[in-house]
Amino acid sequence: MLRRHARAACTALAAAGLALAGLQAGAATAAPQAHDTAAAPAAGSAARTLGVAAAPPELLRAMGRDLGLTRAQALSRLTHEAEAGATAARLRQDLGPAFAGAWVDGAEAGTLTVATTRAADAAAIRAAGATARLVPHGLTALERAKERLDRAATAEAPVRYVDVRANVLVVEETKAGAGARLVRATGVPSGLVRVVRTTEAPRPLYDIRGGDAYYMGGGGRCSVGFAVTRGTTQGFATAGHCGRAGTTTSGYNQVAMGSFQGSVFPGNDMAWVAANSSWTATPYVKGASGNVQVTGSVLQPVGSSVCRSGSTTGWHCGTVQQHNTSVTYPEGTITGVTRTTVCAEPGDSGGSYISGSQAQGVTSGGSGTCSSGGTTFFQPLNPLLQTYGLTLRTTGSDPGPGPGPGEPQPGGTWAAGKVYAAGDVVTYGGGAYRCLQGHQAQPGWEPPNVPALWQRT
């Protein structure tokens, strides 16, 4: 959907204190690792083939964040794992049906263990530099048994896998007796299976990303604006003309997504959709060749470059022409929208307008096409966030200076999560500050820290 006007008709933030992010193609930024001068071990042929020495910095940072490894330790672990994988693959070929699985211990200089059903294989395993373990069941036999379980499994026994360390086929059940019933129904020998109880019910996980398509239950397609949260509920901001409160939605993949919780059109053109637990709000907009990070919602001035992402025409850019524009559609008048030179077409409605990394608004309507050019209007995002009490999903950032452990909070009327308009006055740390640019406040953007947004009065 795209509301048409009745008549035919991306840049850095120009202020100190707010750094903009570009295209995002890797893991989220992690805290810097302590300086580590230790060299990684010399890579063998497998590690060289797999390019371990050229591991991307974002991968190494993520390993530091999640596994507590320095850069050298991460490279060492990757090297050992590459070599272990190659050794295990060769032994699997050599051992044939007797091969019962392989695993590493996960340490920086990890040990490879290879299981076999033949005691005579132990010497060959040790000669390859691995530890041998004798077990009763071959991996092929366990995997074939799992395939039989897979064909008859229900959500009451949602997870099945071969635990090579324990040499057993594991069935996780959410309901007592479900695992045993599955084993009996398939004729799999009970001696191969261990049933464990779980309270987790696996589900598919999908990302909410600006610019992606979504579909309304009654028909029609619009585009996601920006991922948001409201308390523990995740969802997205979009255009009000796309649906009314209660309208159900499905995602870009036609999987059930959620429903409209609030919608205004005409008057304004704003709405938000609450997503179900299969969907996760992400701080990204779909760009021309990757994800564009969203770091805030500072409204940019007239003349600024702005880009739009939509499910029909993708990524297009132009400039901001006027703020606080009024437009009369056949359905009625909307006020407070921003006029731009960015093109759009039906289906782009609700999609993201972003300047640098600052979220600007959601597509409302316009004239022309992306072939002939045109004019479009977006509903500014900050009033939408304020109306529905939503928090924009943004990428992590340095929170900046603040109270140390045990120190008192500065106090005042400023609050993270609140939407401020230019001219608003707050107090913080005993001082008064006037808002210079409309935005939604977030941790790290306290008035003393961001002179681009706040002026001491």
d(CA 359, CA 296): 6
Pairing assessment for the beta strands 168-173 and 193-197 based on DSSP bridges: parallel
Q: What pairs with residue 134 in β-bridges? A: 116
Contact criterion met (CB below 8 Å) for 310 and 358: no
Instruction: List active site positions.
Output: 241, 269, 349
C-alpha torsion sign, points 340, 342, 348, 354: negative
Pairing assessment for the beta strands 291-293 and 23-24 based on DSSP bridges: antiparallel
d(CA 232, CA 248): 20
d(CA 267, CA 222): 19
d(CA 7, CA 376): 12
Q: Which secondary structure element, helix H or strand E, spans residue 307, and what is its range? A: strand 305-310
User: How is residue 96 annotated by DSSP?
Assistant: G
Of the candidates 224, 240, 238, which has an alpha carbon nearest to the alpha carbon of residue 280?
224
d(CA 220, CA 227): 20
d(CA 403, CA 395): 22
d(CA 378, CA 235): 19
Contact criterion met (CB below 8 Å) for 168 and 180: no
Helix/strand/coil percent split, the chain, to 5: 20, 35, 45
